[in-house]
Structure 1
């Protein structure tokens, strides 16, 4: 019996982070590579923007031990998030190649509240409509989605749930019916809060896609993009344009007509008269199945003719005919057969 494999339903993030303390590099047996861990925080303002709270997280990456983060800098970081539902600190496993230092931290730095983007793939486990009194959009939908991702440090699969809030706005209210239990969804949203009681991250949905596909609507005609002039010195922008169906690049390959291609077999052989198509006498048909017009020759006359020909001239050598001919045998063939019978 085969073991049931855990589904791969990860959740990725993209945001700006400031380290709380220095990075800790864990080296094993004087190895120059390992896991670098940095304590940081996420600025959250709640689903309605009525709170200001910072939640501690742990930034983890597997890289060279010299790639540490400074406490006096702000970094743009992207990676995968694993927020377990047991009260432990959420782990943000980021990619070192995507780290960008934005600038130094200061009191005048931008506000990054609710600016952490989460893109996830998971399975819907439950849904519930909740009235939202703080907004005029009416009721909103709370969806619990199950995720599973690989923990490279512990070398095990981690299962966790995330709560998604789907607003009842005009552009998202019609997507409430897409969230059904047991359906796989791809969601893009903003990390806005953490539920301390249920130990779950809270994400406000901005977009949703069904992995099984949506209903196909009316086709949208392709619009060619126009090149725009660059307002930045030293930059030249390249615009994209869709190809039309009638363009030469999309034209199907032309088929070669059968009448224009010469017959290879006919061209390789010299022009020879076809005994089947060319009649030996006028009045014969082209098919070779017509009745011969020669007068019947008796056996005695053939025998006398054979005797005179055999005495006067030597027997000609018969050459094999490479081409098989159809129809009645010719008179010369009958005479040759009679000569062979006479010898034996």
Structure 2
């Protein structure tokens, strides 16, 4: 058995996917489960043309014919994005347990543009400052462009693969002070929205939200463990780990209605218009 530690620096994602086409599934003969494939896209607003731009994506998930997605339907999907920085179509590996069917594509009127979110954990391999978009006053603000290298297991290749993603860190007051966190070789977690695609090197571009250094995460974990240890030690010594002034005042239990008993279940068959009208009339009489 190999003793080499395998790192996992995934690119987690969530998006609203319109199923264009059901592709060929890979189900082993005699089995009811296998890999299911679909054609969809990730849409964003092109900063150069301000028009919507769609990049073709292959949606892949594990399931059966019963759980298969339906063509011309829109779904909320979450999982792992594995774009290999090559001419091959990027693959989105979705989690079949978190799928939400949002209905038929023809009846879905909301825009799917700029809806793809990302939480990326990776190693900083390069960084540089670039000029951002011009404001109404004609001034530009600097943007720190960081490239993270991700490492994840690819179910299709059945091997661990590496790929890179561009993250744009804005110079807003709450983000400008984070520029110093981005040291080459440092492990960083960034969340944001997909806002572009660099076709020359086949890399997704993400506009970041607040940044978390993995070193900070480790520090917080150690602090949490220390607090738990001190609390357990105080308990064993018969001490009160919290100030007495903060002790909660005993509350007398009183009978109350169970709110959740009044909430209709969202599972099962979709409610009909007749049932909705009947419930509405009943509510007016109460």
**TM more than 0.5:** yes
Give yes or no for contact 1:48–1:134 (8 Å, CA) kept in 2: no
Match of 2:166 in 1: 163
Task: Find the aligned partners of 2:200 and 2:58 in 1 and give their Cα distance.
Answer: 20
For 1:31 and 1:131, the matched residues in 2 are separated by 54
From 176, 182, 187, the equivalent of 1:184 is 187
Alignment of 1:1-344 (within 5 A): 4-46=4-46, 50-106=50-106, 109-135=109-135, 136=139, 138-213=141-216, 246-248=245-247
Q: Write out per-residue CA displacement over residues 198-230 of structure 1, whole angstroms, 9 at most, x where no aligned residue.
A: 1111101012101111899xxxxxxxxxxxxxx
Following superposition, the deviation at residue 3 of structure 1 comes to 6.3
Superimposed CA distance per residue, residues 222-253 of structure 1 (whole angstroms, 9 cap, x where no aligned partner):
xxxxxxxxxxxxxxxxxxxxx98744369xxx
What is the CA–CA distance in structure 1 between the aligned matches of 2:248 and 2:153, rounded to whole Å? 44
Structure with more contact order per residue of length (Cα contacts < 8 Å, sep ≥ 6): 2
Residue-pair matches, total: 224
* TM-score w.r.t. length of structure 2: 0.71
Provide the alpha-carbon RMSD of the alignment: 2.6
DSSP 3-state at the match of 2:216: coil
What displacement does 1:26 show? Answer: 1.7
1:80–1:93: 8 Å Cα contact kept in structure 2? yes
Closer/same/farther in 2, CA of residues 245 and 23 from structure 1, 3 Å limit: farther
Call closer, same or farther: CA 1:4–1:109 in 2, change over 3 Å.
same
Larger Rg over CA atoms: 1
In proportion to residue count, which structure has more helix? 2
The 8 Å contact of residues 137 and 168 in structure 1, kept in 2 or not, is answered as: no
Shift of 1:152: 2.0
Structure 2 spans left out of the alignment, 5+ residues: 221-241, 250-286
CA contact (8 A) 2:44 2:113 kept: yes
* CA contact 2:74–2:108 (8 Å) conserved in 1: no
* Distance change in 2, residues 1:7/1:108 (3 Å): closer
CA distance in 2, matches of 1:245, 1:91: 56
Shift of 1:112: 2.0
Q: TM-score, normalised by structure 1?
A: 0.60
